[in-house]
Amino acid sequence: MRFGRRRQEPPRGPSGPPPIVFFGGKGGVGKTTMAAAYALRLADEGLRTLLVSTDPAHSLGDALDVPLGDRPVRVVENLWAREPDAEAALRRRVRQISDDAGAALPSEILPAVSRHLEHAAAGPGMAESALADLLMDAMEEVPGTWDRLVVDSAPTGHLLRLLHLPELLAPWVQGLVRQRERAVDADRFAVGVVGGSQEDGDDPLLERLHARRRKLDRAARRLREEAEVRLVLVPRRMVLAETDRAAGELAGTGFRLGAVVVNQVPADADPDVLEQIRERFGDQGTVELALTGREPIGTGALRELAAPLA
């Protein structure tokens, strides 16, 4: 599938929308709705926008009232959306590693490598890691294929892990690079001692590791330099407490926070809670959206929310 390309433009400064925006928050606060409305606003402004869900419990298609899948689907002019399949991405990664191993390792140890890969793929956190890979792939297409990337993330804990994952994985991958380099050097030394020949071609495993390390380094840098996190909450004390902790962790580790969206504000909302929200997030700004009697589903209803989010 081709989406065409536009003139690459540099990231916007503080006065314009950043290239990459995450919407996160506690489950049930409406972050999917806010992400969809914001992406629609960008698209209506003429920016080719990709809206991606990294929540395994996908609801983005329901909010847009459009069937979504693993590949981008055109929703309206300038807006595409997708709900990546983490399990499928994990299977693709395992196949790629297996193919690389088959090209670089002795055939007698390949069955053991395959068993190890199957065991590792079933481990905790692997699907989440596969989603992070898909997200990094999408980031690589901004700018270029897309002008903007909007991410509807899973609840707060998942968002925090997702944002930190590139930085956490980079040293581990670098360690694998060093181990593989030593193994390749040892093979070459053995050939020189006992005789024989060894092709001088690139080692596919080592090349794959180097490429992954570079990709992780780029993602970690761009998440801090070009991305913005917009937290969504509802005016309740427990939700505010969780949002406060998330904002503190994100800001403390160098992530940029955008305006906080206070969603579903009822007419009888606790004024003390609203005042605490305004005071806590006053520096970055707040957007307050009143509770309405109907659920905003479809592009028409979502556009009604879009203006204040801009």
pLDDT 10s per residue in the chain (310 long)? 434 433 334 344 445 679 999 999 998 999 999 999 999 999 999 999 999 998 877 899 999 999 999 899 999 999 999 998 877 766 666 666 666 666 555 566 556 656 655 655 555 456 677 778 888 899 999 999 999 999 998 777 777 777 776 665 555 555 555 665 565 554 443 434 334 444 544 666 667 777 777 888 888 889 999 999 999 999 999 999 999 999 999 999 889 999 999 999 999 999 999 999 999 999 999 999 999 888 899 999 999 888 888 7
Cα 286 to the center of its chain, rounded Å:
23
Contact 280, 245 (CB under 8 A): no
SS3 of the chain: helix, strand, coil, percent, to 5: 55, 15, 35
Contact 232, 25 (CB under 8 A): yes
- Residues facing 228 on adjacent strands: 21
Tokens at 257, concatenated: 């926070």
Tokens at 144, concatenated: 């270029």
Residue 159 DSSP SS3: helix
Contact 189, 153 (CB under 8 A): no
Q: pLDDT digits over 177-196, tens only?
A: 566 556 555 444 343 433 44
- The CATH superfamily holding the domain 20-273+281-296 is P-loop containing nucleotide triphosphate hydrolases (3.40.50.300)
Contact 181, 64 (CB under 8 A): no
Cα 165 to the center of its chain, rounded Å:
10
The secondary structure of residue 10, as a DSSP letter, is P
Is the peptide bond prior to 204 cis by the omega test (within 30 degrees of 0)?
no
Structural Rg of the chain based on CA atoms = 23
Tokens at 121, concatenated: 């793929």
| Half-sphere exposure at residue 117, Cβ-oriented, CA atoms within 13 angstroms | 19
- How far apart CA 50 and CA 139 sit, in angstroms, is 10
Pairing of strands 148-152, 79-82: unpaired
Contact 35, 23 (CB under 8 A): yes
Pairing of strands 49-53, 79-82: parallel
Pick the closest to residue 255 from 275, 289, 290, 231 (CA basis): 231
Q: Which helix (H) or strand (E) holds 228?
A: strand 227-233
| Half-sphere exposure at residue 78, Cβ-oriented, CA atoms within 13 angstroms | 15
Q: What is the pTM of this model?
A: 0.78
